[in-house]
Amino acid sequence: MATDRAGITHAPGALPIVGHLIPLLRDPLRFLNTLPSYGDLVQIRLGPQRAVVVCRPELVQQVLLNDRMYDKGGPIIERIGNALGDGLASCPHSAHRRQRRSVQPAFSRTCLREYAAIMAEEIDTLTSSWSGGRTIGVDAQMYTLASDTIARTLFTAEAAGPAVDTVKECLPDIFRGIYQQAVFPPLLRRLPLPSNLRYERARNRAWAAVSKTISLYRQDGETHGDVLSMLLKTQDDAGGDLGDAEIHAQIMTLLVAGIESTAVALTWAVHLLCQYPDLQERLRTETVDVLGTRTATWEDLPRLDLARRVITETLRIYPPGWILTRTTTTEARLADAVIPPDTTLIYSPYLIHHDARFNPRPSSFDPDRWLPEHQHVRGAFIPFGGGARKCIGDNYALILATMALSTIVARWRLSHADLQRPHIEPRVTLNPHKLQVRVECLERVPE
């Protein structure tokens, strides 16, 4: 293990040309979890590029809270920008505040309350379609729920339907491609490899579908009371309308990131409840007491405390956005290390969440660790990032996940259809691949 400057160590095992590509593709979670043993700041190789992994929560907080010095950048953010456009997820610091102001009204408490009514309808539609004794593909079912719900939030016009279907179909190849291209050496990104071609086709199809929807909205000139209509009426700092490129980037970001992260979180939550049937029964007791057999609503949320903690603990164990990058804009200091300008920094919520120094018993699924009386290390739970760039849709995702999980558990008993642990496919999110669950209808009780 070598050191090239004070406070930064080198992870062993880098190969010529490809660097740490093999462990980053083969078993990235295991590789990341080895890095804190080498130091608080550990340099790895992404092909010929060098990146410094930040391994302590207080140092990650410095990065997240100073988004001017540690700007959005690096290979993962660059590929997200390539896939979605320069929207909130990838735009530089100089554009972020204005973009955030343009989108923030869509996530006000008033709007979230309205969205909760849509969520309840979609949750009821999905769960009412199940039948007792049936085996369902939970990942596919949660993608349907998330995409249908988020689509109704962003678009109410029927003309948007084809775009939503196209984006949902393209999501796996887009998110798989973002991660693969981020860790590939630049030469491999340019080769006509099957994975590269699948990514490009999926990205281009999704872009074209969203572009067509924006054009249709502009042509009809009506106010549909949805997020796209709001963006079309929003003015920039100079008093002019937002351009199609910015609107496109925001819609792609909200649609693609919203569907993927929410669906993945719900899928993992169901998996964990199948692994811990006693906890599933505890949750059922709470939800039946609050809901009976009806669908959860906005008004129920304050009383669905265990459901909220189950979702929180799920996000700790399987944070959807598990690895992200930033770039230093000036010389910076982290701990005892001086970081030169244009250095790529990597922070991993998964790494921080699974470090026993900051989250005791990190492999244990324990929603009770989030009870108010328990103390937590500041910054050791970051599923939505932090600082000014914290995910704008965090409350939306938590509301949908809490309402959906509560309703499902109140109506259905869940068990694994087989004993195999679902394969984790590392994309930009931690995606559980083909999780099969058996659903048993519970005896209905009067409400």
pLDDT per position as a tens digit, 294-308: 999 999 999 999 999
Out of 403-407, 417-421, 427-431, give the one with best mean pLDDT: 403-407
Task: Categorize the per-residue pLDDT at 434 as very low, low, confident or very high, splitting at 50, 70 and 90.
Answer: confident
- % pLDDT > 70, the chain: 97
Two tokens, residue 278:
């006693």
In whole numbers, what is the pLDDT of the chain averaged over residues?
91
User: What are the pLDDT digits (tens) for 249-288?
Assistant: 999 999 888 898 999 999 999 999 999 999 999 999 999 9
User: What are the pLDDT digits (tens) for 355-372?
Assistant: 999 999 999 999 999 999
Cα–Cα–Cα angle for 132, 408, 146, nearest 5°?
115
Residue 375, Cβ density class (10 Å: 0-12 exposed, 13-18 middle, ≥19 buried): exposed
DSSP 427: S
Task: Output the pLDDT for position 445.
Answer: 47
User: Nearest CA to 42 among 73, 3, 72?
Assistant: 3
Confidence check: pLDDT of 90 > 90: yes
Name, in order, each residue with C-beta under 8 angstroms of 249's C-beta and a sequence gap of 6 or more: 84, 85, 86, 87, 91
Confidence check: pLDDT of 447 > 50: no
Confidence check: pLDDT of 239 > 90: no
* Residue range 224-243: mean pLDDT, rounded: 81
Confidence check: pLDDT of 93 > 80: yes
Confidence check: pLDDT of 348 > 90: yes
Confidence check: pLDDT of 3 > 70: no
Task: Output the pLDDT for position 4.
Answer: 58
pTM over 0.85: yes
